Amino acid sequence: MTNTGGGGPRPRGTWRREGAITATAFALCLLGGVVQDDGSTLSPPSAAAYFVAVVSCAVIPVRHRVPLAAMAVTTASGVLAPFLGLLLSPLIAAPAVITAYSYSLTARTERRAASAVALISVALLVASTPLFGALSWKDASRVGAVAAFPLVAGVLGHSAQNRRAYLAAVEERARRAEESRDSEARRRVAEERVRIARELHDLVAHQITLANAQATVAAHLFDTRPEQTRKSLKELVATTSDALDDLRATVGLLRQSGDSAAPAEPAPGLSRLSTLLESFRRAGLDVSVHQEGTARPLPPGVDLTAYRIVQEALTNVTKHAATGSARVRLAWHRDRVTISVADDGGGARTAPNTSTGSSASAVPDRPPGYGLIGMRERATAVGGHLSAGRRPEGGFLVSTQLPLPPAKDTTRMTDGATTTEGRMADGVTGYGRTGDGQAGDTP
């Protein structure tokens, strides 16, 4: 049996609806008990009519709790009507029709509902067919209506059940879609937060590291070389001013409610590598550049990634390495570019932090940063790979391989590819080959 009613108290509206259905069924059943086949005047209901109406309608309120039992009682009452001298008409069969609809609405399987409803129709058909005498057209229409009404009720109940299942499925899909949208929104927010944090880290760490180095130089030369101190302080002012401008522009972009109508400044790339290296040289870091192969333009995302990795690697050299020099190497291959930044610093670095993948500072109370984490995330985001660690000969090495788009005109290179070492000459971008420069040349 299917029990869909539950054991808890029903709402007041449910009891009102059940009361109205039961009263209507009782009135129809009682009216059917006074109908005569010969068309005589209606007389008051007999005791048999009251008996059939009361018994068959008494189980209607519990048809949701015990549907099969309610259906059996209403069907038995209808079958019993002819034996009590009543005319079995569709009116007397109204309680059976109601229970057939309710059972079809809540049945677990379609086959079970069809079998039960067909059994009701057969029982009422047999009970309403006259056993003796000829079957007139009037009797045939009555018998057909008595047998057909439960079948129609069963079809309607099954249709209503399918509609409820369809609406429930639609609501479930809508709920899952809403949850999926919420999850996707949270994922995108998390990714955007990481991206913003990475950009701010690269921006602030670079500028503040340069400012710290310039302030250190100024403090060290304050008494002995006042002119050099004044120059370092001027560079410190320029560095902090640039940092404030960059932060102001970044915060302005984050505070915009919509797309900006004004064109944004192009993202930095290897074309600005010479400017980047010059900023480190002004802070006291001697940077040399070594290129191999033929440089090619990079996609915007890869170009920005290459620039940020060089920037962060040199920033880490300035902060952590006990050396005043670093080497940047760019190797251009057919399908990738390899960028490495190395220093030969001494023991200023501690062992690499295994939890973050970065090297801790020599300062014992400085927490580990997120520089190497950000560089790895950037390289992975564009389909590249980054590795970092101590060099066997001393110092630290950051190396990354970034993918290159297929070259339109591929130039066959000889085994002995021409390489150029030294600092980049003034005005030469990071895309071209470097020329031999003197010590102290602007990259």
Q: Minimal CA–CA distance to 430: which of 287, 238, 235, 240?
A: 287
For residue 310, pLDDT beyond 80: yes
Provide Rg for the chain, Cα atoms.
44
Who contacts 195 (Cβ-Cβ below 8 Å, separation ≥6)? none
Residue 259 pLDDT class (50, 70, 90 cuts): low
Distance CA 75, CA 99 (A): 9
pLDDT computed for residue 254 by the predictor? 64
Q: Rank 131-140, 220-229, 395-404 by mean pLDDT and report only the highest.
A: 395-404
pLDDT computed for residue 409 by the predictor? 45
Per residue in 121-160, pLDDT tens?
Answer: 888 888 877 765 556 677 788 888 888 888 888 889 888 8
Enter the tokens of residue 287: 């940077």
Distance CA 285, CA 307 (A): 18
pLDDT computed for residue 401 by the predictor? 92
Who contacts 350 (Cβ-Cβ below 8 Å, separation ≥6)? 359, 360, 361, 362
For residue 393, pLDDT beyond 60: yes
Percent of all residues in the chain with a pLDDT value above 70, rounded to a whole number: 73
Enter the tokens of residue 300: 């915007």
Mean pLDDT of the 195-211 span: 71
Residue 186 pLDDT class (50, 70, 90 cuts): confident
Residue 352 pLDDT class (50, 70, 90 cuts): very low
pLDDT computed for residue 389 by the predictor? 87
How much of the chain is helix, strand and coil, in % rounded to 5?
A: 55, 10, 35
389-425 in b/e form (b: 16+ CB < 10 A) is: eeeeeebbbbbbbbebeeeeeeeeeeeeeeeeebbbb
Contact, 21 vs 80, CB < 8 A? no
For residue 415, pLDDT beyond 90: no
259-277 in b/e form (b: 16+ CB < 10 A) is: eeeeeeeeebbbbbbbebb
Higher pLDDT among residues 363 and 9, named by residue? 9
Beta bridge partners of 325: 286
Distance CA 389, CA 159 (A): 70
Higher pLDDT among residues 79 and 370, named by residue? 79
For residue 180, pLDDT beyond 50: yes
The sign of the dihedral angle between the CA atoms of 198, 200, 206, 209 is: negative
Contact, 46 vs 54, CB < 8 A? no
Distance CA 267, CA 300 (A): 8
For residue 41, pLDDT beyond 60: no
Distance CA 443, CA 428 (A): 7
Q: Strand order of the sheet with strand 325-332? A: 385-390, 396-403, 336-343, 325-332, 286-292, 419-422
**Residue 140 exposed, middle or buried by CB count within 10 Å (0-12, 13-18, 19+):** exposed
Distance CA 301, CA 180 (A): 28
The average confidence (pLDDT) of the chain is: 74
pLDDT computed for residue 402 by the predictor? 92
pLDDT computed for residue 408 by the predictor? 59
For the chain, the distance separating the N- and C-terminal CA atoms, rounded to the nearest angstrom, is 87
Distance CA 415, CA 410 (A): 15
For residue 434, pLDDT beyond 90: no
Higher pLDDT among residues 69 and 41, named by residue? 69
pLDDT computed for residue 340 by the predictor? 92
pLDDT computed for residue 140 by the predictor? 80
Per residue in 314-342, pLDDT tens?
Answer: 888 887 777 778 999 999 998 889 999 99
Mean pLDDT of the 1-25 span: 67
